[in-house]
Amino acid sequence: MHYTGTIWRPPYEASSLLLEVTAGCTHHKCKFCTLYHDLPFKFRMSPVKDIESDLQEAQLWSTDPISMLTARLQGISRPERIRRVFLTGANPFVLKYERLMAIAGLIHQYVPSVKTIGCFSRITDVMLKSDEELASLRQAGYDGLTIGIETGDDEALQFMNKGYAAADIVKQCRRLDRAGIHYSFFYLASISGAGRGEIGAKATADVCNQLHPVRIGINMLTIYPESELYQEIQRGNWKEESEIEKYKEIRALLEHLEIPAQFAALGASNAFLFQGTLPEDREALIAALNKIIETVKEDDLREYRVNLRHL
């Protein structure tokens, strides 16, 4: 398989086939982000021949009699049929409709057991597709996009150079709803800055409450010296929330969400991992956050953050 640089995928895509169709990010301007800094380029599309050869390799895993015999002799279970593909890169959904359709065609040709295709998407990537194209992409298997909206707080979105506003999130995700393409969000606690955490949480709940995200995943801002945000802090233009304020912010988000959704904090940026289903687990999740807020010391949480070498 061709994999370039660090490969990022959401926790719930652990059993999906990771197929590299892009590397890097077309936007590359969010002030807090250092995710694709290890690549020598900003963004690259994979050559079709590489995608095809990776799919041929994946096809062999689950259908090749020798692979199956080897697995049996080694006492490991028979390779599972591949049901889902996750396209890698920061925003493969930016690819032109025709290319996404061609990739779906190759996936179904080589691995016919695949039912759905997911990937990360930016809100601006959805804007590039017509309603008819979105419907047709859904028919071709695209479903379960993961969108790092980060927040519904316009002030924070603008300062961090996300490249869209809260109204764009609502407009574009409604288009996904109409096309039948499901999506999950990532929220970035502390993106609104010190003293504004709960404002950002409420603005985000307002956005989410108009939409139908399957999941809302929580990441916590972790600032690395290579980021532009670090420079902004040095210049005195921005201040990070305390670790405790980040937990209060997540609690405020939970308190204001009115939609059914999975809610989870599972990535490395979270010192405490938790997950549940809304609305039924809301009180238990809030109780867990209250316990952290009341009993865990700011210094201990900070120590976790500063020792986090990599997300």
Task: Assess 189 for contact with ligand SF4 (CB under 6 A).
Answer: no
Task: Assess 149 for contact with ligand SF4 (CB under 6 A).
Answer: no
Rounded Cα gap, residues 209 and 256, in angstroms: 9
Q: Where are the alpha helices (DSSP H) in the chain?
A: 48-63, 65-73, 97-110, 123-127, 131-139, 154-159, 166-179, 197-208, 228-234, 243-256, 282-295, 298-306
Kindly tell me which of 30 and 140 has the beta carbon lying closer to ligand SF4.
30
Kindly tell me which of 23 and 140 has the beta carbon lying closer to ligand SF4.
23
Rounded Cα gap, residues 19 and 85, in angstroms: 7
Rounded Cα gap, residues 25 and 15, in angstroms: 23
Rounded Cα gap, residues 232 and 238, in angstroms: 6
Kindly tell me which of 33 and 250 has the beta carbon lying closer to ligand SF4.
33
Task: Spell out, one character per residue from 116 to 145, where the chain touches ligand SF4: x when CB under 6 A holds, - when not.
Answer: ------x-----------------------
Task: Assess 27 for contact with ligand SF4 (CB under 6 A).
Answer: yes
Q: Which of 23, 33, 51, 257 binds ligand SF4 (CB under 6 A)?
A: 33
Task: Assess 30 for contact with ligand SF4 (CB under 6 A).
Answer: yes
Kindly tell me which of 39 and 101 has the beta carbon lying closer to ligand SF4.
39
> Candidates 23-31, 73-81, 109-117, 200-208 — which segment interacts with ligand SF4 by CB under 6 A?
23-31
Task: Spell out, one character per residue from 85 to 104, where the chain touches ligand SF4: x when CB under 6 A holds, - when not.
Answer: -----x--------------
> Candidates 20-28, 48-56, 125-133, 260-268 — which segment interacts with ligand SF4 by CB under 6 A?
20-28
Which of 12-40 are b and which e, b meaning 16 or more Cβ less than 10 Å from the residue's Cβ? bbeebbbbbbbbbbbbbebbbbbbbeebe
Q: How far apart are the first and last CA of the chain?
A: 23
Binding stretches for ligand SF4 (CB under 6 A): 25, 27-30, 33, 35-36, 90, 122, 148
